[in-house]
Amino acid sequence: MTSGRLHTLLAPFAPASLLALGTVGVVVLFGGCQSNEPVSYQTPPQAAALPTAPAAYPNPMGIAPTGPGAGSFGSLNGSPGTVDAPQPTPISLNGSPAPAGSPSAPGLPKVTSKAAILVDGFGRVLFERNADAHLPAASTQKLLVGLLVAERGALSTPVTIAEPDTWAEPTVMGIKPGEVYTRDELLHAVLIRSCNDIARALGRDHSGSEAAFVASMNAKARSIGMTNSYFTNSNGLPSPPGQYSTARDLAKLGMAALRNPTLREICSTRSYTFRFANGTTRSLTNTNQVLHHFPYCTGLKTGTTNAAGKCLISSATANGKTVVAVMLGSSSPAVWQESEALLKYGLGM
């Protein structure tokens, strides 16, 4: 990659990165993949960052926080509490959310992104804004990569890295041709730290080539009801051009991901130790800052490019409820707080 292209991708986020370097940014930026995604909230962290800590938010029903590994993900289809209910094909969303400020929608948070949607585990739309606008999805589409790989299974299968897998920047793990990793190791890295080279490796392993895998992505998207999406690569970068999705479609993808036990576990992981083929290790910190600050958050996936802005699919579970929030095209560093506010609104907090 030329220095000019790298500067174009990274320039808008340089201030946040420089601020982060003064504290934990060195560990986050260089201890994991080289990423242009924001690495921290711009407000002081909340006291209860882990599900096992005392809840930092209202809990009127007196139910303990539910988070990664803490039990039910709420109802995604069927009766409340269902975890692995049969997945409908395609997934459908329904309902008309009450307008902001109406008596039936008290406390609806302000959202500044170009498009957004909030749905519950039954597919009911609780809030939407330009939810059907065609917009770039950036790395949030790696959740579709993860779904294809997880559904194929055999995650202990070894994957030998090929040279074309490394043709992706700037967010890379630094894997090299000839190195061997398991699908499970690569799947953790692509979902937790959003590494573009690993997305290409998983795609080639799945379908034989990047082009064939893109066809698999589009077919899978259609099968779960993502009828307003089109993808041209596995990693979410703007080249080849022409790919897009919508907040509504990505909410369906988020619901499909939550129904998969493998993706639920990985997307809720805050950090992961990746072992390179030469024996060295690197600690990967999840790029989803809501996961680190909101104890009820259960995932899911971040994304950032110049064209897409800041994008986020987030999910949370508490008090027998599950909600999925999608934000696309945010230009505000408050994307994390706004997403958290949507999740809390959906959970009735």
Return the closest-CA partner of residue 343 out of 55, 108, 143: 108
Q: Which residues contact 185 (CB under 8 A, 6 or more apart)?
A: 274, 275
pLDDT above 70 (res 18): no
Element (H, E) at 172: none
Of the chain, the percentage scoring pLDDT greater than 70 comes to 71
| pTM score | 0.75
Domain residue ranges of the chain, discontinuous segments joined by + = 3-347
Confirm whether 142 is a catalytic residue.
yes
| Cβ atoms within 10 Å, residue 50 | 12
Query: Which residue in the list 194, 245, 314, 330 is annotated as catalytic?
Result: 194
State the helix-helix crossing angle for 142-152 and 210-223, rounded to 10 degrees: 90
139 catalytic per annotation: yes
**Confidence class for position 15, pLDDT limits 50, 70, 90:** very low
CA-wise closest residue to 318 among 296, 286, 289, 288: 296
Which among 163, 233, 246 has a CA at the least distance from the CA of 199? 233
Q: Which of 114, 142, 220, 344 is catalytic?
A: 142
Q: Is the pLDDT of residue 129 over 80?
A: yes
Mean pLDDT for the chain overall: 77
Yes or no: say if 68 and 265 are a contact pair by the CB < 8 Å rule: yes
* Tokens coding 10: 């990274």
286-318 residue pLDDT tens: 999 999 999 999 999 999 898 899 999 999 999
User: DSSP characters for 267-318?
Assistant: HT-SEEEEEPTTS-EEEEEPS-HHHHH-TTEEEEEEEEETTTEEEEEEEEEE
pLDDT at 49: 32
- State which of 18-22, 90-94, 134-138 shows the largest mean pLDDT: 134-138
Residue 87 clears pLDDT 70, i.e. is over it: no
What DSSP assignment string belongs to 231-276? Answer: -SSSS--S-SS--BB-HHHHHHHHHHHHTSHHHHHHHT-SEEEEEP
Residue (of 338, 291, 330) closest to 310 by Cα position:
330
The CATH number of 3-347, from 3.40.710.10, 3.40.50.1460, 3.40.50.970, 3.40.50.300, is 3.40.710.10
CA distance linking residue 143 with residue 256, whole number of Å: 10
In terms of average pLDDT, the best of 20-34, 74-88, 212-226 is: 212-226
Q: Which residue in 139, 229, 245, 268 is the catalytic one?
A: 139
How many angstroms separate the Cα of 15 from the Cα of each of 25, 28, 39, 81? Answer: 12, 15, 12, 43
Q: How does residue 110 score in pLDDT terms, banded at 50, 70 and 90? A: confident
